[in-house]
Amino acid sequence: MTPSSDIERLIAIMAALRAPDTGCPWDIEQDFASIAPYTIEEAYEVADAIARGDLLDLKDELGDLLLQVVFHARMAEEKGLFAFPDVVAAITAKLVRRHPHIFGDARDLKPDEVKALWGGIKAEEKALRRAERQAAGTYVDEHQGLLDGIPHALPALMRAEKLQSKASSVGFDWNDARQVLAKIREETEEIAEALDENDPEHVAEEIGDLLFVVANLARHAKTDPEDALRRANAKFERRFAHIERRLAEAGKTAGETTLDEMEALWIEAKTAER
């Protein structure tokens, strides 16, 4: 097969890979649950390519992510649920519906007015989805709370920020970032107490509380906690690589040196970045 920029060709290839008698054994045995982790992984690889500024890699990673959409759509089509064109129709309809200030009559709106309008449209969509599920006999009449709808599969730090943002929308929040800092100090003291108790379960709980509050601090500081931690990870990797390079110049490895020596080289790397 020769490469093609036609989405129909990609859909046909996916169908061939899933063909019961002639397809790829690995592709055939997959289902929604087994493919979901790959979908999440590919989305992160897209974000990584962007963070690294590697736009050539971004092209490939976006292709990998598109394959995930095609894969899920093909499995749904096999079950008679929906097909790739239905996915496209759903998102195009949603974009038009959620942007009446672009595609409809609600023109010349201010940003806060657009946000309020969007909230109303999303509420209407939820009501419509509820009605559709009731008609299909799949609706479960459960209480819909403010925090419902935030996916559990999100990274914990990201989900913490979204939970707190939702709660903040009804006034359940601190008024100032410094109040959050005070809460962080309180949580570190509680971790110290849990460590003194030598209770691993209690320590884990208190560390979780600390991370939750740190995510809130990031939100108050208008900083994406996932991005902030990603940057910190990159900084740690960069500085540790400096330690390894300097040790290699001396004919040593990290396992053959002392913590004091490594700490000195860490400070050297930190100073060089300023």
Would the pTM of this model clear 0.85, i.e. be above it? no
Predicted confidence (pLDDT) at residue 67 exceeds the cutoff of 80: yes
The confidence band for 142, taking pLDDT boundaries of 50, 70 and 90, is low
> What length is written for the chain?
274
What are the structural domains of the chain?
A: 7-136 (1.10.287.1080), 156-223 (1.10.287.1080), 227-273 (no CATH)
For position 100, what pLDDT does the model report?
82
DSSP 31: -
**Helix 177-197 and helix 200-220, axial crossing angle in degrees, nearest 10:** 170
Q: Which of 74-83, 121-130, 213-222 has the lowest mean pLDDT?
A: 121-130
DSSP for 72-122 reads HHHHHHHTTS--HHHHHHHHHHHHHHT-HHHHSS--S--HHHHHHHHHHHH
Percent of the chain whose predicted confidence (pLDDT) is above 70: 96
Query: What's the mean pLDDT in 29-34?
Result: 96
